[in-house]
Amino acid sequence: MALDTLERSSPPIFRQGLSATTKLVLLALLSILLMASDHRFQISQPLRAGIAMVLSPLQWLSLQPARAVRGMGQYFHNLEEAQDAAQNFQTRTIAQAQRLQQVEQLRLENTQLRELLDLRAQIAGPAKAVEVLYETADPYTDRIVVDRGQIGGIVPGSAVIDAGGVVGQVTRVYALVSEVTLLTDRAQSIPVVNARTGSRHVVVGDPTMSSGALELKFVPASTDVKQGDLLTTSGIDGVYPPGLHVGTVSQIDRRVDSSFARVHAIPAAKPRGRHLLVLTPTKDWPTAPTHPIEPKRLGKGRTAAASSAGVKP
């Protein structure tokens, strides 16, 4: 008989120890006993605390990759929100700055219109408010175009003023717009009077100055004129009403080799104001109607005029 065919397990008669079922029952009872004892007396609590202390670094290390991923996601999310908030804030800031500029512009226009209304109330003749559209493209002239023309009642030769003083004169009138030649144009002249001395002069435009100025023509060197003298319209030309501010004397050049002094002035009107006032020439102002005197009647229907002439009615 071969050896590998022999049964290697010991015969049942020689088996020792407890059976598997008995061991299961005993171990189950022991487990229940240990659980009850642990619940009652907290026997395993120190062991648990020690194991938790030993495993704590491992747990922290195992959680770091997940935390890093969540942190990166939160970082990019917060970064995107911050960029959106910054862009919205910048947009609102630009909109508010634009609105503030518009408010400032409206405030200035409101102030200017109020000044024009006050000025219009002080002028006896008819006046019309206009708005500046643009400057002419001719570099050799100093002219602007306003938004009223022949249909709006503008006539050539009308004086144009603002709250500061005389701006210029209407030189061309079209159907819907008009062209205004400013005082600083070389072809523009206006008779003025020195408010301090009462002397009369003629002012012409002097475009050679950088910001535009005025020059008093044919002023004798002995004339009493000083810096700061106010020049106003004289009213003798039939275009400008008297008393409007024209400019202020800024420079006086008396030469020995010339009998005339060169006198420069600064325009009183604000440069490039948006709203202006157009005055009808003073020669076209309507005069007060003269009512004919009713002849005084005498007895029997005879009038004083007829009686003095010896005419019977």
Pair of tokens at residue 2: 């071969």
CA dist., res. 87 & res. 102, Å (int): 22
Question: At 250, which CATH number?
Answer: 2.40.10.340
The β-bridge partners of 260 are: 220
The verdict on 74 and 163 lying in the same domain is: no
> Is 43 inside any structural domain?
no
Q: How far apart are CA 191 and CA 217, in angstroms?
A: 10
pTM above 0.75, yes or no: no
The residue range of the domain holding 215 is 127-284
Is residue 154 located within the same domain as residue 253? yes
Check residues 15 and 257 and name the one with the higher pLDDT.
257
Same domain, 180 and 258: yes
Kindly state the average pLDDT of the residues 63-69. Answer: 88
Torsion angles phi and psi, residue 128, rounded to 5 = -130, 135
H/E run at residue 163: none
Rounded Cα–Cα distance for residues 183 and 189 (Å): 7
Same domain, 132 and 280: yes
Q: What is the pLDDT of residue 91?
A: 84
Average pLDDT over residues 64-88: 89
In-domain check, residue 35 = no
User: Average pLDDT for residues 213-220, to the nearest whole number?
Assistant: 88
**Domains of the chain: total:** 2
* Same domain flag for 138 and 103: no
- Average of per-residue pLDDT across 178-196: 90
Mean pLDDT of 122-151: 85
In angstroms, the CA 29 to CA 140 distance is 119
Domain end among 64, 98, 122: 122
**Is residue 95 domain-shared with residue 153, that is, in the same domain?**
no
Which of 100, 122, 144 is at the close of a domain?
Answer: 122
